[in-house]
């Protein structure tokens, strides 16, 4: 058994809040820079140039990349042999968010109630998802989520008969409906399977994965007691990912909605087994400021 102090968690979360809002991960940054070079539409290219310059100013002068510094979404993978000491685990995370958003001069964007809407003043509470895993380490992924893109996200309860074409149509519908509102070029997080809420969680989690990747439930459980004949052949997923990337970028929404071939910088897919009667699909939209930082304690 390993002991982890809550103070360490608070410290890590605080630093992650600040870092995530000032610097993008290399995969996001490279995708933006590549788009900036390759965009052919003059207006779209101009927008990408502004976004590139914006990113440089943010990093050099410690000004948040976007004024919407998000609601703090926290994915925790907690080793089952870890003992948390020194107070409440959730409070340790919220205290990290509180300190990060205050000391980092980040925007406090959380209201106390969806109807009453009084600002909580410190960007808490965070949205915390905990998964218990093997081992004795604690992995924390912090993903501050802006709501310009969040508001354009969708859940579709498709029918099994809709199949791959139904999935494609739904994703393209979500991206078209989002149009200029979600601050394109976007990153599209797609969650397929599970149930109603699981699909949404998969889509959000997908956004934290390597850009332009696919990941399935069975990628993590291969080799255990699961019968080999139920492990799906995921070749179709890689093709779906590539096809959607192309089809989204053929929509000509373009950077800032100004037209061009970079409507999305990437699409990430997460898949989970589902029920015989269903094909849940969630599309979590994110702008190019797809922030996520991970630490392992």
Partner 1 sequence: MDYKINLPFTEEDIIKIKGGDVLYLNGTVYSARDAAHKRMYDAINEYLEKTGKKPSEITSAELFENGVTPIDLKGTVLYYLGPTPAKPGQVIGSAGPTTSSRMDKYTPLLLDLGLAGMIGKGRRSDDVKAAIKRNKAVYMGATGGAGALLSKCIKSSTVIAYDDLGTEAIRKMEVENFPVTVLIDSEGGAFRV
From the list 20, 47, 192, 264, which residue makes contact with partner 1 (rule: CB under 8 A)? 47
64 binds partner 1 (CB under 8 A): yes
54 binds partner 1 (CB under 8 A): yes
Minimum Å gap between C-beta 185 and partner 1 is: 9
Name residues contacting partner 1, limited to 194-223 (CB under 8 A). none
x-or-dash string of contact with partner 1, 128-147, rule CB under 8 A:
--------------------
Whole-angstrom CA distances from 57 to 10, 53, 54, 87, 255 are 28, 6, 5, 39, 19
For partner 1, give the closer residue by CB, 93 or 289. Answer: 289
Minimum Å gap between C-beta 79 and partner 1 is: 35
With CB under 8 A as the rule, give the number of residues binding partner 1: 39
From the list 3, 121, 163, 250, which residue makes contact with partner 1 (rule: CB under 8 A)? 121
Kindly indicate which of the ranges 105-113, 124-132, 207-215, 216-224 contains the residues binding partner 1, using the contact rule CB under 8 A: 105-113
From the list 100, 257, 266, 280, which residue makes contact with partner 1 (rule: CB under 8 A)? 257
The count of residues in the chain is 297
119 binds partner 1 (CB under 8 A): yes
From the list 9, 36, 58, 202, which residue makes contact with partner 1 (rule: CB under 8 A)? 58
Minimum Å gap between C-beta 44 and partner 1 is: 11
287 binds partner 1 (CB under 8 A): yes
179 binds partner 1 (CB under 8 A): yes
Minimum Å gap between C-beta 134 and partner 1 is: 39
Q: Find out whether 105 and 259 touch, Cβ atoms under 8 Å.
A: no
From the list 5, 15, 29, 107, which residue makes contact with partner 1 (rule: CB under 8 A)? 107
Minimum Å gap between C-beta 17 and partner 1 is: 12
180 binds partner 1 (CB under 8 A): yes
Spatial separation of the C-alpha atoms in residues 44 and 26, rounded to whole Å: 22
Minimum Å gap between C-beta 256 and partner 1 is: 6
Spatial separation of the C-alpha atoms in residues 17 and 106, rounded to whole Å: 9
For partner 1, give the closer residue by CB, 15 or 129. Answer: 15
For partner 1, give the closer residue by CB, 265 or 269. Answer: 265
Whole-angstrom CA distances from 48 to 63, 106, 211, 212, 262 are 18, 24, 18, 19, 9
User: Rule CB under 8 A: which residues touch partner 1?
Assistant: 43, 47, 50-51, 53-55, 57-58, 61-69, 105-109, 117, 119, 121, 148, 151, 179-181, 183, 256-259, 287-289
């Amino acid at each position: 058994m390993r002991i982890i102090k809550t103070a360490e968690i608070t410290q890590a979360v605080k630093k992650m809040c600040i870092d995530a809002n000032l610097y993008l991960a290399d995969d996001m940054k490279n995708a933006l820079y590549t788009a900036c070079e390759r965009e052919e539409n003059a207006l779209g290219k101009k927008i990408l140039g502004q976004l590139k310059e914006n990113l440089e100013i943010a990093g050099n002068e410690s000004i948040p990349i976007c004024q919407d510094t998000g609601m703090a979404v926290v994915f925790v993978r907690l080793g089952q042999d870890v003992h948390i000491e020194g107070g409440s685990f959730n409070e340790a995370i919220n205290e990290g968010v509180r300190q990060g958003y205050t000391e980092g001069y980040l925007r406090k964007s959380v209201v106390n109630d969806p109807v009453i809407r009084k600002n909580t003043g410190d960007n808490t509470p965070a949205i915390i998802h905990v998964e218990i895993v093997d081992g004795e380490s604690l992995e924390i992924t912090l993903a501050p989520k802006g709501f310009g893109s969040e508001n354009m996200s969708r859940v579709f309860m498709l029918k099994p008969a809709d199949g791959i074409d139904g999935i494609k149509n739904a994703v393209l519908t979500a991206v078209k409906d989002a149009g200029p509102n979600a601050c394109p070029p976007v990153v599209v997080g797609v969650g397929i399977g599970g149930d109603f809420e699981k699909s949404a969680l998969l889509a959000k989690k997908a956004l934290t994965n390597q850009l332009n990747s696919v990941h399935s439930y069975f990628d993590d459980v291969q080799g255990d007691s699961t019968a080999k004949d139920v492990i799906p052949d995921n070749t179709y997923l890689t093709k779906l990912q590539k096809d959607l990337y192309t089809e989204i970028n053929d929509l000509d929404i373009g950077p800032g909605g100004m037209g061009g071939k970079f409507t999305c910088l990437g699409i990430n897919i997460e898949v989970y087994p589902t029920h015989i009667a269903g094909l849940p699909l969630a599309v979590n939209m994110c702008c190019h400021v797809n922030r996520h930082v991970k630490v392992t304690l």
